[in-house]
Amino acid sequence: MSIGIVLATTDTILLVADGRQSTAYEKISDTVEKISVLRSDLALISFGVNFGTQRVLQWMKHEELPLNADEFSKYLSDRVHASGTLVLQALRVEDRTSDRMKVGFVGGGADATGPYITGSLFGANMESVATVTSRCVNSTFVYIVLGGENAGAETYFQQLSHRLLTDETPPQAVIPTLLHVAIQTIRFAASADQSIGGQIQYTILERGKLPQTGFLV
């Protein structure tokens, strides 16, 4: 399907995603931009059924987005549930149990307390929306890896970040190191899952700065 990784330190949010869009039968594109910057302090990675995620993003364009982390997480969860329900209703009965038929987002933002990460997922074989919100409090960073489960992407991310980030890593090197870890994780997942791959994209959000976006082949 796809893979998205979002993480936050005490002052920075990093989002990294692959660029592949595919059906169950064929690759459609390797250059889909899955990261949407909604504000200078808020961005999301789309995951799952394209017309479902695009519907949520269209809703967001016409609605006032909550500033508080908990309120935005609830808002995102409600929109993901609504769009995911519409997706399932539009499918043929035989397709409604396919694990590919999900709508989700992971992303990060900043409110008065500081950076946070959040994620919501809903679709086939799920009774309710899976939602998580976290902040960096007693650790160097917090993260969410969505996708790449069959390839063991999250385990790979954990192990590589643990190996490359140490107590001696200077603060200015933390985000570049984590970006490297996320890129390597996506490449690792792509080697085992043909629905993942293509152009890798990333966005960095820092308070008081314009969002920084880049692409890697």
Q: What is the DSSP string of 104-140?
A: EEEEEEEETTEEEEEEEEEETT-SS-EEEEE--SSSS
Q: How far apart are CA 145 and CA 156, in angstroms?
A: 10
Number of H helices, E strands in the chain: 4, 12
Rg, C-alpha atoms of the chain: 17
Give 146's contacts (C-beta < 8 A, 6+ positions apart). 3, 4, 5, 45, 47, 104, 106, 119, 121
Lowest mean pLDDT among 35-49, 92-106, 155-169, 184-198: 92-106
Q: How confident is the model at residue 83 (pLDDT cuts 50, 70, 90)?
A: very high
Closest alpha carbon to 174 in 183, 165, 182: 165
Q: How far apart are CA 107 and CA 109, in angstroms?
A: 7
User: Beta partners for 144?
Assistant: 6
Structure tokens at 104: 């989700």
Q: How confident is the model at residue 142 (pLDDT cuts 50, 70, 90)?
A: very high
Q: How far apart are CA 121 and CA 210, in angstroms?
A: 28
Structure tokens at 34: 């899955």
Instruction: Please list the alpha-helical segments (H only) found in the chain.
Output: 50-61, 69-90, 153-164, 171-192
What pTM was estimated for this model as a whole? 0.95
Looking at every residue in the chain, the average pLDDT score rounds to: 95
Please determine, for residue 137, whether its predicted confidence score (pLDDT) is greater than 90: no
Please determine, for residue 3, whether its predicted confidence score (pLDDT) is greater than 80: yes
Q: How confident is the model at residue 96 (pLDDT cuts 50, 70, 90)?
A: confident
**Helix, coil or strand: residue 9:** coil
CATH number for the domain running over 4-147+194-216: 3.60.20.10
